[in-house]
């Protein structure tokens, strides 16, 4: 069905519709692959940029507690001083 046609051959309407649908499905598959590829690249490069900058930081900064934890410790220490 998907073979090359000679110039003197004609297609039935059903064959024409079938070929058009197959062509459009092929285009849709290519577009989906492009979208997936772009998404993969975007995610990978963002991760690499973040990790590269994080790896440059001193170990003390990377392993330090979160700001919320520091606030809780300060609050606890001040509470003990007030009581």
- Closest to 1 in 3D by CA, of 30, 16, 25, 27: 16
Angle at 59 between CA 57 and CA 62, to 5 degrees: 70
Contact predicate 56/48, CB 8 Å: no
- Give the model's pLDDT for residue 7: 61
Model confidence at 53, pLDDT cuts 50, 70, 90, reads confident
What's the whole-model pTM score?
0.37
pLDDT tier for residue 48 given thresholds of 50, 70 and 90? confident
């Amino acid at each position: 069905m998907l073979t090359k046609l000679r110039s003197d051959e004609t297609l039935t309407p059903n064959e024409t519709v079938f070929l058009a649908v197959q062509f459009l499905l092929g285009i849709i598959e290519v577009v989906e692959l492009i979208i997936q590829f772009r998404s993969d690249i975007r995610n990978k490069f963002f991760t690499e940029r973040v990790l590269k900058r994080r790896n440059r930081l001193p170990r003390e900064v990377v392993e330090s507690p979160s700001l919320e934890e520091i606030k809780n410790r300060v609050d606890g220490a001040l509470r003990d001083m007030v009581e």
